[in-house]
Amino acid sequence: MKLLRAMREPLKYVQGKGALLRFKDEMGYMGSRWLFVCSKSGYKACHDQIEESFADSDDVRQWEIFGGVSSKGEIARMRELVEEHEIDTVVAAGGGSAIDTAKATAHYTGTHIVAIPTVAATDAPCTGLSVIYNDDGSFDKYLFYPTNPDAVMVDSQVIANAPVRFLIAGMGDALGTYFEGRSSLRTESPSLEGTGITRAGMALAKLCYETLRDYGSQAIVACENNVVTPALDAIVEANVYLSGVGADNVNCAAAHSFYNGLTALGGHSAPHGCCVAFGTLVQLVLEGAPQDEFDDVQDFCLEVGLPVTLEQLGISSDDQVHTIARNACVPGETIHNLAGDVTPDELYASIVAADSMGKKALGD
């Protein structure tokens, strides 16, 4: 049966400098009993402003620092708190793991969910899924939800105060969105949510790339100085909303498979978004993209400090490249959303070529 096209996104998205001071105004319709699931840094970045937004309200506010990983044990602990305090809305404040924990907690307890990312590094806030880990830290599964979060709130000043490397990694993750979506649409592959790809989804993915090109460098300067400018706001929206909603409604392809293949090496430390950025260059080679387009993406990486060579990702041996290529092509990987049946051999060739063009660009 032909796939139905569908569009998924958070019901409400709020962004801007000082947004947290309006938390209660914007989210108050979701109830009066709140559980805040925070990373340590998320708590520091958000607690005072959110509390201020409640003024003299007598709403119940339960603040909880979670264990750092979106594990089954942590989710069970949060579920107990929801029941004990008769919570209406679970609020995540932190990075991807805090958000994934809170999303799962809200899903299992039938409560509302608000995601407040305190770094703009991942797609977790806007998407309708969580990555769940076992209590020993190993990967368990993707948990898919019937809807996306009720609301996402981003305070641009919080993002400006966070280390710039998170913003750069977020741009790397966002860089793949358009190119991966385009390949998935060419083959009429399903979206990340398993539905047909909409024109709306593709339009967001395209705008994501255009926004990165237009404002990436300026946003870095703003973040380095801990100030909010229109350029930083544009990149926050690209990293959090356009990339997250975009990816959810289009799909991943070779760039994310390159990352997954790389995780098979074990012990690597390059951030997800940096691997996806180089993976995007690899994908363009694999697809036979014209030189102009490859140069455009590579120039962007050079401009904002995303990797263009394997060495910059800490990969040094030919064996490692073969391992990545093999693992990136296992059945079920999103690389198969590309036209044709990509083989490890073809991917290996593209990785080597992309790396070599990177070395040339760096003048090595």
Would you list the DSSP string of 69-91? S-BHHHHHHHHHHHHHTT-SEEE
User: Would you say 173 or 355 has its CB closer to Zn ion?
Assistant: 173
Q: How far is the CB of 206 from Zn ion (least distance, A)?
A: 17
Closer residue to Zn ion (CB): 9 or 173: 173
Q: According to the binding rule CB under 5 A, does residue 237 interact with Zn ion?
A: no
Stretch that binds Zn ion, among 15-23, 149-157, 168-176, 191-199 (CB under 5 A): 168-176
Q: How far apart are the first and last CA of the chain?
A: 52
In whole angstroms, how close is the CB of 25 to Zn ion at the nearest point?
Answer: 32
C-beta of 230: minimal distance to Zn ion in Å? 25
Cβ closest to Zn ion, residue 89 vs residue 173: 173
| Letter string b/e over residues 287-297, b meaning 16 or more CB atoms within 10 A of that residue's CB | bebeeeebeeb
* Beta carbon nearer to Zn ion, 87 or 119: 119
Residue count at the site for Zn ion (CB under 5 A)?
Answer: 1
- Find the shortest distance in angstroms from Cβ 42 to Zn ion: 20
Q: Is 317 exposed, middle or buried (0-12, 13-18, 19+ CB in 10 A)?
A: exposed
215-234 positions binding Zn ion, by CB under 5 A: none
276 vs 354, which CB is nearer to Zn ion?
276
Q: 139 vs 99, 131, 261, 290, 338, CA distance in Å?
A: 16, 8, 14, 37, 26
Do residues 334 and 251 lie in contact, with contact meaning Cβ atoms separated by under 8 Å? Answer: yes
By the rule CB under 5 A, 173 interacts with Zn ion = yes
Among 256, 250, 243, smallest CA distance to 186 is for 250
As measured in angstroms, the least distance from the Cβ of 227 to Zn ion is 27
CA–CA separation, 80 and 77 (whole Å)? 5
Helices and strands, counts by H and E, the chain: 14, 8
Only one of the segments 69-77, 106-114, 173-181, 332-340 lies at the binding site for Zn ion (rule: CB under 5 A); that segment is 173-181
Find the residue with minimal CB distance to Zn ion: 173
Q: Which window, 140-148, 170-178, 217-225, 288-296, contacts Zn ion (CB under 5 A)?
A: 170-178
Site map (CB under 5 A) of Zn ion, residues 122-141, x = contact: --------------------
**DSSP code of 196?**
B
- Spatial CA neighbour of 129 closest among 184, 74, 183, 194: 194
Burial class (CB in 10 A: 0-12, 13-18, 19+), 188: exposed
Q: Which residues are annotated as a binding site for glycerol?
A: 123, 173, 256, 272
Alpha-carbon torsion (128, 176, 185, 259), positive or negative: negative
- Annotated binding residues, as ranges? 96-100, 123, 127, 129, 133, 173, 256, 272
CB nearer Zn ion, residue 173 or residue 193: 173
**Window contacting Zn ion (CB under 5 A); options: 76-84, 128-136, 169-177, 215-223:** 169-177
From 132-140, 172-180, 305-313, 331-339, span contacting Zn ion (CB under 5 A): 172-180
- When computed from its CA atoms, the radius of gyration of the chain, rounded to whole angstroms, is 20
Q: How far is the CB of 250 from Zn ion (least distance, A)?
A: 12
Which residue ranges are tagged as binding site for NAD(+)?
Answer: 96-100, 127, 129, 133
Compute, in degrees rounded to 10, the torsion defined by CA atoms 93, 95, 98, 102: 70
Decide: is 74 part of the binding site for Zn ion (CB under 5 A).
no
The single-letter code of the amino acid at 285 is V
What are the residues binding Zn ion (CB under 5 A)?
173
